[in-house]
Amino acid sequence: MPTWQVVSKQNHANAGWTSPTDYRQTKHLSVIPALAGEFGHLIPTYPMAFLKNSTGKFQLCVLLGLKKHCNAFLDLNNRWTAQYVPANLRSYPFSLMESSNGQQVLAVDADSDFFHIEAQTNDKPVLNQAGTAHDSLKELIQFMGQRHIQQLQTDHAVDLLAQHQVLKEWQESVITEDGSSEQTVLKGLYCFDEKALQHLDGDALQTLASKGALGVAYAQLYSQTRLKYLVKRQQWHDKQTHSAQTSNVDLDKLFGESDSDDLFTF
């Protein structure tokens, strides 16, 4: 788990950082938040689902694996194996945190291999002599600021979908041992309920459309076809790491027969 610290002149005056050479910090991530602005890049590769947190709030997330704390998009050298890397993973070792007064402030993972409290040879400075962010961080900070705005917009759209009750538990057809097909609930995952949408009145539909919520809903729906490819990717990942008990990922065992906590949580 990362150890996030707010960057300050007092604590990080001599700190340095280097651009990550791999994605080792994502090794134990199975889900990450999705942004509406990246749907065009996500849908061809990643399935997305709505997840509910402990307070009952939904968030749209990218599925990175079918096992807890497992990112199936990494190879043995922690390199990303898909062409597109989701936006929420592209600012490490930095992120934005909310301060006590509600402002977004720069934070760094103090335990990252790509951050050093005392700058090493070839490191880029974190702060300049005035104690503000070094020029090497300006583009990254701008990117994180834009990402934060998009996250708020995406989350608001998801809130509207939940308020209008057009989300449902995700069920998927699985093939049983006798060759028949049956619907299995994907534990902890929710999807867009297009039938429920048809029962909304015109005003509700206009609200969802004008706030971008319909775009979010259909993006999730279209991404569902990528689930079968994630199953294959999980199989490949398990074989690479020699952790697979069988050559197949059993969706029924993964999602339908567990008494433990939801597989996907955030």
Q: Is 183 helix (H, G, I), strand (E, B) or coil?
A: strand
In the predicted model, is pLDDT for residue 123 greater than 80? Answer: yes
CB 107 within 8 A of CB 97: yes
If pLDDT is split at 50, 70 and 90, which confidence band does 181 have? low
Tokens of 32: 């990450």
Tokens of 130: 């005035």
If pLDDT is split at 50, 70 and 90, which confidence band does 224 have? very high
Mean pLDDT of the chain: 89
How large a percentage of the chain has pLDDT more than 70?
A: 87
Cα separation, 250 vs 29, in Å, equals 20
CB 97 within 8 A of CB 3: no
Residue type, 150: Q
If pLDDT is split at 50, 70 and 90, which confidence band does 186 have? confident
Task: Give the burial class of 11: count Cβ atoms within 10 A of its Cβ; 0-12 exposed, 13-18 middle, 19 or more buried.
Answer: middle
pLDDT of residue 54: 84
Query: In this predicted model, which residue has the larger pLDDT, 50 or 239?
Result: 50
Residue 65 backbone dihedrals phi, psi, to 5 degrees: -165, 170
Residue found by looking up tokens 């990942």 in the block: 237
If pLDDT is split at 50, 70 and 90, which confidence band does 266 have? very low
Residue found by looking up tokens 């706030």 in the block: 211
E strands along 138-180, which residues?
Answer: 167-175
If pLDDT is split at 50, 70 and 90, which confidence band does 14 have? very high
pLDDT of residue 138: 93
Residue found by looking up tokens 């076809």 in the block: 225
Pairing between strand 94-98 and 104-109?
A: antiparallel
Lowest mean per-residue pLDDT among 16-20, 164-168, 169-173 = 169-173
pLDDT of residue 265: 46
In the predicted model, is pLDDT for residue 178 greater than 80? Answer: no
In the predicted model, is pLDDT for residue 256 greater than 50? Answer: no
Q: Does the global pTM surpass 0.75?
A: yes
Convert the pLDDT of each residue in 16-32 to its tens digit: 999 999 999 999 999 99
Query: In this predicted model, which residue has the larger pLDDT, 139 or 257?
Result: 139
Q: What is the DSSP letter of 90?
A: S
Residue found by looking up tokens 């090493």 in the block: 120
Instruction: Check whether the bond before 93 is cis (ω within 30° of 0).
Output: yes
pLDDT of residue 248: 54
Query: In this predicted model, which residue has the larger pLDDT, 101 or 88?
Result: 88
